[in-house]
Amino acid sequence: MKTLFRAAALLAAVAAATARADDKPAAVPEGFAPLFNGKDLSGWKPTGKADVWKAEGGMIVCTGGGGGYLLTEKEYGDFELRLEYRWAKPGGNSGVGLRTPASGDPAYAGMEIQLIDDEGWEKVNGGKLADYQHTGSVYDVQPAKGAANKPVGEWNAVRIVCKGRHVTVEQNGKELVSADLDDFKGKFDKHPGLKREAGHLGFQSYNIRVEFRNVVVKELK
């Protein structure tokens, strides 16, 4: 019996150590710059309720709805953005703003890359998602090719490249979007942000808690 207790204790310790290691921030890749210092929200500005956004445990945390967007103070034109995010529970919705101005809805005044719990959204919230509302989509513009979500509670890795008129979105190593923005000129009136060459980056506050970490960017020439 003691042997079984020791084995169980050892397994629990290994699991705890693995969880702690998973929560440690990754090293910044060569050529990239961190957008979050791990301590506070210096360099960021909320467009909604400021208390929705927090720096917590080395993460940028959105605690719920009402916070609008948390935008970088700096603007970016051509760049590669990498980040990780995870949901606290099923039914989450958020987004990544690209080339957005300081005011206006980034989904239209800039661009929004959708982040959503594709599998759990309809079960929790009801209603059917449109094709352009799935994770990785350029919201209301270019639907994602598919999904590569990790289970709720696990970290998802996102890579976004904006180079001139081309946008690429990957989730967990799978390409979801490869789009030429000039293919959507019919949407320019509704989405004037598609014509922008630079703007702020940011995260959306929509409904439930969502956490972001390892947020890094490389400016492209």
Taking only the tens place, the pLDDT of each residue in 137-192 is: 999 999 999 989 999 999 999 999 999 999 999 999 999 999 999 999 999 999 99
Amino acid at 161: V
Q: Is the pLDDT of residue 13 over 70?
A: no
Which range among 4-13, 16-25, 171-180, 204-213 shows the weakest confidence by mean pLDDT? Answer: 4-13
> What is the pTM (predicted TM-score) of this model?
0.89
* Domains by residue range for the chain, with CATH: 32-219 (2.60.120.560)
The more confidently predicted of residues 21 and 220 is: 220
Q: What is the pLDDT of residues 94-141, one digit of tens each?
A: 999 999 999 999 999 999 999 999 999 999 998 899 999 999 999 999
> What mean pLDDT is reported for the chain?
91
Mean pLDDT of 209-215: 98
pLDDT at 221: 83
Strands (E) across the chain are located at 33-34, 44-46, 53-56, 59-62, 69-76, 79-87, 93-100, 111-116, 156-163, 166-171, 174-180, 199-204, 210-219
Give, as one character, the DSSP assignment of residue 78.
S
Q: How confident is the model at residue 24 (pLDDT cuts 50, 70, 90)?
A: confident
Number of C-beta neighbours around residue 118 at 10 A = 18
At 134, which helix (H) or strand (E)? none
